[in-house]
A and B are shown apart, each in its own frame.
Chain A
């Protein structure tokens, strides 16, 4: 099998983009979205000013953390759909760790980040144990645990951690400003968050492609039966993969609490867990592509906030575009395979 040239690959990628654009226009036009104006508003809303770029980067941080984390279990061919719940658990643990403090500094923040990673890792471990010891498919355990984590958040916000006076969906009492992650100038993004995301990406790259652990992990993914025979300990490895992913998702939860919302609220995970799965599929789980797709998706998310204001459209269009793009990529890949097979038959 000879590999296609770079030009052909780019050609197919453009075909996928074209199909995505066509499909998006097909669904969005009838809903009253003029195509060019909508795209213009989306991008102007995403990169139109420095403060918007700040918000894009603030969204890029948790998305990248989750997406690179997801590559670890996926290397073993595991779908960690529970990322969403792991973000939430991270946020809960982070808030719990900070509750005794009215003010603080680096030490308290570091403690909270550590707690968040632990929370995410434990929640992922639960899904992993259900898979390894209870044979519950990780899609169902992960998904179920997402809802359970949401339930715990709601219970905390309306119950033990409710604000003095009124309990509402707006969350717990805000953290003291001394516990916030330091921001870059007036932008809503913290350099700590950015640094954490970059470090996490490099960490996962080294872990998967430069260590023995990563090599064995790939072996487990390629052929679990053989891995058992060679005593690579697939079970232990699967649990480790889940925990690493969970810890990174928990870290994303911490950046949401410490850097973005400064409190625990029901929407703390902002759907980043599910979007990260789309990013992973869009990148065909190739790590170097992940940060860039995350950036693009973050721009769409921030830009779509303008849609209800300027066009009276629902902001879920960004999700539609993201989904359509990944789907188009799959369709085009499939078509390519189909054409190739037809050629071979001829």
Chain B
């Protein structure tokens, strides 16, 4: 039973940064902006968080630095993409490559140094409860932060006026503009907010999940997986978070697979999440294809079941909006 608890605990830790990055990207994409810079952002924020926490000997300041880095990168993308009307895809991709090299370049002197990490929190008295006890008795604070973020994001998006504005600028910017919402400004805000969450994901890697900095850090590729999970989660924060934990579970099970198949060299398992990413996207997208939807519509049971799966991408995703062109 203890191994079960420990496995769940490991999945929660491995999933926490993915959850944060996925929530951040979900927020940004809900506002209609696609931020492809995730992979580089996470790496650069991880570097910044580690370097700052070594410098000040305080991991929490490092966490803030990571968030600021993520927000700054997303802000740059936001300004160039929203106000200067350049392709969000292109700028995001350039930023991914740029931030990745920048992280290795600037973090060079801090490579493989000891540094503080966020440590572990335990809720008093929880250790004695069966099942939940071993999961939460020694758990990283990033897990609690991730859990809190899921609830906050869902509440903000679906239960507040701000969340309604957010969805409006992503679904129908012209209508939102007609209602007096400053579309581009709102989009920039969510770029920054999403970027801060992505930065926090980076900090979670270098301060909790894989403490330390080096080349490679070990979080390379996580940003791309997070981008795919957003699609998998149908732009819904709770489902995206579930998707993130699902991927984390696959990653953790990869470690067991390695023990089962010792003849396969260890490095091969490091790339295992990526074929899974393609297959999950394939499964999700096939479910959205016409002929499969026809089959679903003909079967009442599948129809009720499929309601939860019928979320489409924000209608204005990746499109620029120019208020001067009017309604």
CB-CB under 8 A from A31, the residues of chain B are 105-106, 108-109
Instruction: Answer whether residue B238 sits at the interface, using C-beta atoms and an 8 A cutoff.
Output: no
Q: Using C-beta atoms within 8 Å of the partner chain, give the interface range for chain B.
A: 35 or more
Inter-chain contact total with CB atoms closer than 8 Å: 146
Instruction: Answer whether residue B288 sits at the interface, using C-beta atoms and an 8 A cutoff.
Output: yes
Given A135-B289, A148-B275, A338-B84: A327 in contact with B95 (beta carbons within 8 A): yes
Distance, CA A341 to CA B324, complexed state (A): 9
Instruction: Answer whether residue A289 sits at the interface, using C-beta atoms and an 8 A cutoff.
Output: no
Q: Whole-angstrom distance from the CB of B248 to the nearest CB of chain A?
A: 17
Per-residue interface assignment for chain A, residues 125 to 155, with 1 indicating a CB less than 8 Å from any chain B CB and 0 otherwise: 0000010001111011101111110110011
CB-CB under 8 A from B83, the residues of chain A are 334, 338
Say which residue of B85, B89, B98, B100 sits within 8 Å of A79 (CB atoms). B89
Say which residue of B36, B105, B271 sits within 8 Å of A147 (CB atoms). B271
Distance, CA A316 to CA B105, complexed state (A): 5
Per-residue interface assignment for chain A, residues 19 to 48, with 1 indicating a CB less than 8 Å from any chain B CB and 0 otherwise: 000000001101110000000000000000
Per-residue interface assignment for chain B, residues 281 to 313, with 1 indicating a CB less than 8 Å from any chain A CB and 0 otherwise: 110011011000000000000000000000000
Please indicate which of the listed interface residues B85, B221, B231, B267 has the most CB atoms of chain A within 10 Å of its own CB. B267
CB-CB under 8 A from B272, the residues of chain A are 151
Q: Whole-angstrom distance from the CB of A45 to the nearest CB of chain B?
A: 16
> B289 touching A326 by the CB < 8 A rule?
no
> B265 touching A159 by the CB < 8 A rule?
yes
Chain B minimum-CB-distance residue to A341: B324
CB-CB under 8 A from A141, the residues of chain B are 278, 281
> B227 touching A155 by the CB < 8 A rule?
no
Q: Whole-angstrom distance from the CB of A235 to the nearest CB of chain B?
A: 14
> B101 touching A320 by the CB < 8 A rule?
yes
Instruction: Answer whether residue B71 sits at the interface, using C-beta atoms and an 8 A cutoff.
Output: no
Q: Whole-angstrom distance from the CB of B312 to the nearest CB of chain A?
A: 12
Instruction: Answer whether residue A221 sits at the interface, using C-beta atoms and an 8 A cutoff.
Output: no
> A281 touching B102 by the CB < 8 A rule?
no
Q: Whole-angstrom distance from the CB of B244 to the nearest CB of chain A?
A: 16
CB-CB under 8 A from A130, the residues of chain B are 278, 282
Distance, CA A278 to CA B91, complexed state (A): 10
Given A27-B102, A140-B228: A331 in contact with B265 (beta carbons within 8 A): no
> B97 touching A281 by the CB < 8 A rule?
no
Per-residue interface assignment for chain B, residues 238 to 282, with 1 indicating a CB less than 8 Å from any chain A CB and 0 otherwise: 000000000000000000000000011101101110110110011
CB-CB under 8 A from B91, the residues of chain A are 327, 330
Instruction: Answer whether residue A317 sits at the interface, using C-beta atoms and an 8 A cutoff.
Output: yes
Instruction: Answer whether residue B224 sits at the interface, using C-beta atoms and an 8 A cutoff.
Output: yes
CB-CB under 8 A from B286, the residues of chain A are 134-135
Chain B minimum-CB-distance residue to A169: B267
> A330 touching B94 by the CB < 8 A rule?
yes
Per-residue interface assignment for chain A, residues 151 to 169, with 1 indicating a CB less than 8 Å from any chain B CB and 0 otherwise: 1001100110000000100
CB-CB under 8 A from B94, the residues of chain A are 278, 281, 323, 326-327, 330
Chain A minimum-CB-distance residue to B106: A31
Distance, CA A144 to CA B278, complexed state (A): 6
Instruction: Count residues on chain A whose CB falls below 8 Å from chain B CBs.
Output: 53
> A334 touching B86 by the CB < 8 A rule?
yes
Instruction: Answer whether residue A267 sits at the interface, using C-beta atoms and an 8 A cutoff.
Output: no
Say which residue of B80, B95, B267, B270 sits within 8 Å of A158 (CB atoms). B267
> B108 touching A313 by the CB < 8 A rule?
yes
Please indicate which of the listed interface residues A130, A277, A281, A323 has the most CB atoms of chain B within 10 Å of its own CB. A323
CB-CB under 8 A from A330, the residues of chain B are 80, 84, 86, 90-91, 94
Say which residue of A30, A140, A334 sits within 8 Å of B277 (CB atoms). A140
Chain A minimum-CB-distance residue to B89: A79
> A334 touching B80 by the CB < 8 A rule?
yes
Q: Whole-angstrom distance from the CB of A252 to the nearest CB of chain B?
A: 18
> B267 touching A154 by the CB < 8 A rule?
yes
> A319 touching B97 by the CB < 8 A rule?
yes
Given A147-B274, A278-B94, A323-B98: A335 in contact with B84 (beta carbons within 8 A): yes
Distance, CA A24 to CA B275, complexed state (A): 36
Q: Whole-angstrom distance from the CB of A52 to the nearest CB of chain B?
A: 22
> B281 touching A140 by the CB < 8 A rule?
yes
> A147 touching B221 by the CB < 8 A rule?
yes
> A144 touching B274 by the CB < 8 A rule?
yes
Chain A minimum-CB-distance residue to B39: A143
Other A-B pairs, 11, CB within 8 Å; known A130-B282, A134-B282, A281-B93: A31-B105, A134-B286, A147-B271, A150-B271, A151-B271, A158-B268, A316-B101, A319-B97, A326-B94, A334-B80, A334-B83
Across chains A and B, which 10 residue pairs bring their CB atoms closest together, nearest first? Answer: A334-B84, A323-B98, A319-B101, A151-B271, A158-B265, A314-B108, A147-B274, A135-B285, A316-B104, A144-B274
List chain A positions with a Cβ less than 8 A from chain B: 27-28, 30-32, 79, 81, 130, 134-137, 139-141, 143-148, 150-151, 154-155, 158-159, 167, 274, 277-278, 281, 313-314, 316-320, 322-324, 326-327, 330-331, 333-335, 337-338, 341, 345
A sample of 17 inter-chain contacts (CB < 8 A) reads: A31-B105, A31-B109, A79-B93, A135-B286, A135-B288, A140-B228, A143-B274, A144-B275, A147-B274, A151-B270, A151-B271, A155-B268, A158-B268, A319-B98, A323-B101, A331-B84, A335-B84
List chain B positions with a Cβ less than 8 A from chain A: 36, 80, 83-86, 89-91, 93-95, 97-98, 100-102, 104-106, 108-109, 215, 221, 224, 227-228, 231, 263-265, 267-268, 270-272, 274-275, 277-278, 281-282, 285-286, 288-289, 324
